[in-house]
Chain A
């Protein structure tokens, strides 16, 4: 580049003369900083700028730094008034500005992080339980004063949580049914007991998988939506606006969602089990040659009615859990839009985790009841 920044170094008596040329600007400086750093210390400097065509703040900074960091005088000649003013202004901006945060020793940092995470975990648990209590109190208030119940909001959530989920839950369950039937048949064939694949399909879908998979799907679909909706309402101060008008966000936002999830989870879970059995049945019919009537009859024989109760009793509990986790995380949003994303993720992860933990408890519980 023709106007690349450059300088020629000459010595006059004790003085080092640097004759600059070209443009002292960011695109043109190239290796100028490195070359300037190699100039011998201990001599007075004279910086000649007569041939400098342009200077920007970076050029001004380099000259200013040259002047600041060296012992002995440095004089600048040939600068235009603009350059002088620019160097003066940059000099005034030379303040001790922090660039990086203070670093702590790694051990202290790790211990601090662990401590903070522990405290956070417990305070989240406490706040979650408090929120749960708040929902219960609000619900009891609605029972005593049913006129405050928001029927329209609940119906709307029924549609969003339930009706709109039928397609995806159905497809998922159908495929899961086929997979279980196929994998079961492959293993049982080794004992010549392919027909027991029907036991497998019937019991596992009705008792466990139908509800569990539905819960995971609802957590991903609706739990996240609850957190994101309420979170962005929180961000836009809509929730605060509701409070100032006298509308309780608990009544208007949280309770309808909790009711919708609680009522619809058993229905969706039952639907899911049914579709999974249809999927498995079709596989048995086409692949194992078991006709549908035989399949239904066999399911009737091997699946005890208690399996259905186990599934249907778990479902509303999962629904409450998912809805409350989503709403709770949404209500925790404050600050910026990034929070909405973080809380939505947290809502889904926590909901799925809690559902699976609780499912394990239920498994032990119902076995102890004798519903095997």
Chain B
């Protein structure tokens, strides 16, 4: 359905950004990352297509978060090329980089909310940083973003330390969505949530993707999330992206880690429950 939505929605290009439906939103080529002697990524390639939810999986220490940090420019790779919306990360001037950053939202694993600000103020931080809006509109925007992410009505004036883990993640998502980004990075959005909360969060991400026309880069360990909302899954192993594809495609891929991951008891359980819910999203 995403392809159809984009065809109808091909609007005018955003200034400064190349945009046509064929070119991928993110293109990573030959990425090389190492900490000291320890090589994390070697010759890693990855593409993220417009409008898709790409799940990134891999064992602990395979560099999922490092990959995300490289793409958003928090970590400078030793070699390789990363393009986001056609712009090469690392080659941009300060103003271009700032502009590019307003087109993506990042949700960190524990929300990474600013602890001295309330939830509403957290959501307003990116808005205040980039635009001059009057307070009334700022408050209205914060209010509907908070509601959009499913936080309760009294969450606005609360401080992050007063929130539960699940609410903190929702607030982090609300802040990531503050600038209406086209690209969303989520680092383990359902980790540490109870199964009901995790399922609700999955559903929230999918419905936001559909209404807000988002492209989502999603790091996860959660097999249920993969089955429920991911269009494609990229498997990180052996310092590169081993395989990218839909889950049925990956099931046909002959690699011990992938086979064990999807065919292990948890993988089978997630597959069964996804089937019970009338199959995966796509």
User: In whole angstroms, how far apart are the Cα atoms of A170 and B233 in the complex?
Assistant: 62
Query: Is A27's CB within 8 Å of the partner chain B?
Result: yes
User: In whole angstroms, how far apart are the Cα atoms of A100 and B156 in the complex?
Assistant: 7
User: In whole angstroms, how far apart are the Cα atoms of A210 and B160 in the complex?
Assistant: 45
Inter-chain contact B131/A27, CB cutoff 8 Å = yes
Inter-chain contact A54/B157, CB cutoff 8 Å = no
Partner of B147, one of A27, A58, A93: A93
Inter-chain contact B213/A99, CB cutoff 8 Å = no
Given A57-B145, A82-B5, A93-B148: A26 touches B179 (CB 8 Å cut-off): yes
- Within the complex, the shortest CB–CB distance from B154 to chain A, in Å, comes to 5
Residues A96-150 near B (CB distance < 8 A): 96-102
Number of interface residues of A (CB under 8 A): 36
Query: Interface residues of B: mostly helix, strand, loop or mixed?
Result: helix
User: In whole angstroms, how far apart are the Cα atoms of A93 and B148 in the complex?
Assistant: 5
Q: Name the CB-closest residue of A to B142.
A: A99
- Return chain B residues, CB-CB under 8 Å to A23: 11-12
Given A82-B8, A95-B153, A336-B161: A26 touches B144 (CB 8 Å cut-off): no
User: In whole angstroms, how far apart are the Cα atoms of A125 and B145 in the complex?
Assistant: 45
Query: Is B140's CB within 8 Å of the partner chain A?
Result: yes
User: In whole angstroms, how far apart are the Cα atoms of A190 and B211 in the complex?
Assistant: 86
Query: Is B143's CB within 8 Å of the partner chain A?
Result: yes
- Return chain B residues, CB-CB under 8 Å to A65: 140
Partner of A33, one of B137, B155, B207, B211: B137
Q: Scan B119-134; emit 1 where CB is below 8 A from any A CB, else 0.
A: 0100000010011011
Q: Name the CB-closest residue of A to B143.
A: A97
Query: Is B248's CB within 8 Å of the partner chain A?
Result: no
Partner of A99, one of B143, B179, B180: B143
- Return chain A residues, CB-CB under 8 Å to B120: 97-100
- Return chain A residues, CB-CB under 8 Å to B146: 97
Given A3-B12, A57-B180, A338-B115: A98 touches B145 (CB 8 Å cut-off): no
Query: Is A56's CB within 8 Å of the partner chain B?
Result: yes
- Within the complex, the shortest CB–CB distance from A119 to chain B, in Å, comes to 21
Inter-chain contact B153/A56, CB cutoff 8 Å = no
- Return chain B residues, CB-CB under 8 Å to A53: 11-12
- Return chain B residues, CB-CB under 8 Å to A294: none
Query: Is A81's CB within 8 Å of the partner chain B?
Result: yes
A-B contact count (CB 8 A): 101
- Within the complex, the shortest CB–CB distance from B12 to chain A, in Å, comes to 4
- Return chain A residues, CB-CB under 8 Å to B127: 26
Residues B129-188 near A (CB distance < 8 A): 130-131, 133-134, 137, 139-148, 151, 153-157, 160-161, 177, 179-180
Inter-chain contact B154/A98, CB cutoff 8 Å = yes
Given A61-B141, A86-B211: A98 touches B157 (CB 8 Å cut-off): yes
Task: Give the bracket for the number of chain B residues in contact with chain A.
Answer: 35 or more
User: In whole angstroms, how far apart are the Cα atoms of A85 and B207 in the complex?
Assistant: 11
User: In whole angstroms, how far apart are the Cα atoms of A146 and B73 in the complex?
Assistant: 57
- Residue of A23, A57, A61, A100 contacting most chain B CB atoms (<10 Å): A57
User: In whole angstroms, how far apart are the Cα atoms of A295 and B143 in the complex?
Assistant: 76
User: In whole angstroms, how far apart are the Cα atoms of A57 and B211 in the complex?
Assistant: 9
Inter-chain contact A101/B157, CB cutoff 8 Å = yes
Partner of B9, one of A26, A58, A80, A99: A80
Query: Is A77's CB within 8 Å of the partner chain B?
Result: no
- Return chain B residues, CB-CB under 8 Å to A61: 140-141, 144
User: In whole angstroms, how far apart are the Cα atoms of A54 and B9 in the complex?
Assistant: 8
Interface of A with B (CB < 8 Å)?
1-3, 23, 25-27, 33-34, 53-54, 56-58, 61, 65, 80-82, 85-86, 89-90, 93-102, 335-336, 338
What would 28 A/B residue contacts be, using CB atoms closer than 8 Å?
A26-B127, A26-B180, A27-B102, A33-B137, A54-B12, A57-B141, A57-B145, A57-B148, A57-B177, A57-B180, A57-B212, A58-B180, A81-B8, A82-B9, A85-B210, A89-B211, A93-B144, A94-B144, A97-B143, A97-B144, A97-B155, A99-B120, A100-B118, A100-B157, A101-B118, A101-B157, A335-B161, A336-B115
Closest 8 CB pairs of A and B: A93-B147, A56-B180, A97-B143, A54-B11, A101-B157, A53-B11, A53-B12, A93-B144
Known pairs A89-B207, A97-B143, A99-B139. 8 more at Cβ < 8 A? A25-B180, A27-B130, A57-B145, A93-B147, A94-B144, A97-B155, A100-B157, A101-B157
